[in-house]
Chain A
Amino acid sequence: MKKSFLIKYGELALKGKNRYMFENKLMDQIRYRIDGLGKFKVQKEQGRLFVEPLGEFEEEEVLSAIKEVFGISYICPVVMIDTDDFDTIKETTIQFMKEQYEDFDFTFKVEARRANKNYPLNSMDICREVGAYILDNFETLKVDVKTPDKRVWIELRDRTYIYSRQIKGLGGMPVGSNGRGMLLLSGGIDSPVAGYMVAKRGVAIDAVYFHSHPYTSERAKEKVIELAKIISRKTGPIRLHVVPFTEIQLAIYEKCPHDQLTIIMRRIMMQIAEIHAKTVKSLALITGEAIGQVASQTIQSLAATNDVCTLPVFRPLIGFDKQEIIDISLKIDTYETSILPYEDCCTVFVAKHPVTKPNIKAIKRSEEKLIDIEEMIDRAVDDTVVIKIKPSRD
Chain B
Amino acid sequence: MKMNLYFDCAATTKVCKEAINGITNTLEIEFGNPSSKHFKGMKAEDLVTKARKFIAKEIGSSKDELYFTSGGTESNNLAIFGIANAYKRSGNHIVTTSIEHPSVGASVDSIEEGGFKVSKVGVDREGFVDKKSLIELIHEDTILVSIMQVNNEIGTIQNIIELGNAIKLKNPKTLFHVDGIQGFMKLPINVTKAKIDLYSASSHKIYGPKGVGFLYIKKGIKIKPLQYGGSQQKKIRPGTENTPGIIGFYEAVKALSSNVETNYLKTLELKDYFIKAINSSLPEWELNSPVSIGKLNGEVASPYIVSIRSNSIKGEVILHALEDYHICISTGSACSSKKLNVSHVIKAIGISDKENDKTIRISFSASQSTDDIDELVKALIQINNMFGMFIKK
Contact = CB atoms under 8 A, between A and B. Distances in A.
A347 interface: yes
A108 interface: no
Interface string B302-337: 000000000000101111110110000000001111
A340 to B, nearest CB: 11
Contacts of B390: 250, 253-254, 348
Given A343-B336, A343-B337, A345-B336, A214 B391 contact: no
Contacts of B336: 341, 343, 345
A213 B321 CA distance: 7
Interface residues of A, number: 18
A13 interface: no
Given A214-B321, A214-B323, A350-B337, A345 B392 contact: no
Interface string B379-393: 000000001011111
B338 interface: yes
B335 A346 contact: yes
Given A214-B324, A214-B387, A348-B390, A341 B338 contact: yes
A346 B338 CA distance: 10
Contacts of B338: 341, 343
Contact of A345 (B337, B387, B391, B393): B337
A217 interface: yes
A216 B320 CA distance: 8
A250 B337 CA distance: 17
B56 to A, nearest CB: 41
Nearest to A250: B390
A254 B387 CA distance: 11
Contacts of A31: none
Contact of B317 (A214, A254, A258): A214
A82 to B, nearest CB: 57
B321 A346 contact: no
A254 B336 CA distance: 22
A217 B320 contact: yes
Interface string A237-255: 0000000000000100110
Nearest to B337: A347
Contacts of A250: 390
A133 interface: no
Contacts of A213: 320-321, 324
A298 to B, nearest CB: 20
Question: A-side binding surface: helix, strand, loop or mixed?
Answer: loop
A246 to B, nearest CB: 9
A258 B393 contact: yes
B387 to A, nearest CB: 7
A215 interface: yes
A344 interface: yes
Contacts of B334: 341
A345 B320 CA distance: 11
Contact of A346 (B314, B319, B323): B314
Contacts of A218: 320, 323
Interface string A339-370: 00101111110100000000000000000000
B320 A347 contact: no
Contacts of B323: 214, 218
Nearest to B320: A214
**Which of A216, A341, A348, A350: most chain B Cβ within 10 A?**
A348
A348 B319 CA distance: 16
A386 to B, nearest CB: 22
A348 B317 CA distance: 11
A81 to B, nearest CB: 55
A350 B338 CA distance: 11
B29 to A, nearest CB: 36
Contacts of A214: 317-321, 323-324, 387
Interface centre among A215, A253, A258, A343 (most CB of B within 10 A): A215
A329 B324 CA distance: 34
Contacts of A347: 337, 392
Contacts of A258: 393
Contacts of A345: 314, 316-317, 320, 335-337
Contacts of B321: 213-214
A29 to B, nearest CB: 37
Q: Name the residue in B321, B323, B324, B336 with the highest tally of chain A Cβ atoms < 10 Å from its Cβ.
A: B336
A258 B335 CA distance: 22
Nearest to B387: A214
A348 B318 CA distance: 14
A217 B318 CA distance: 11
Nearest to B316: A345
Contacts of A217: 316, 320
A217 B320 CA distance: 6
A253 B389 CA distance: 10
20 contacts: A213-B320, A213-B324, A214-B317, A214-B319, A214-B320, A214-B321, A216-B320, A218-B320, A218-B323, A250-B390, A254-B389, A341-B338, A343-B337, A345-B314, A345-B337, A346-B316, A347-B337, A348-B390, A348-B391, A348-B392
Interface of A: 213-218, 250, 253-254, 258, 341, 343-348, 350
Given A217-B320, A346-B337, 6 more contacts: A214-B320, A214-B324, A250-B390, A343-B336, A343-B337, A346-B314
**4 tightest A-B contacts by CB?**
A214-B320, A214-B321, A345-B335, A347-B337
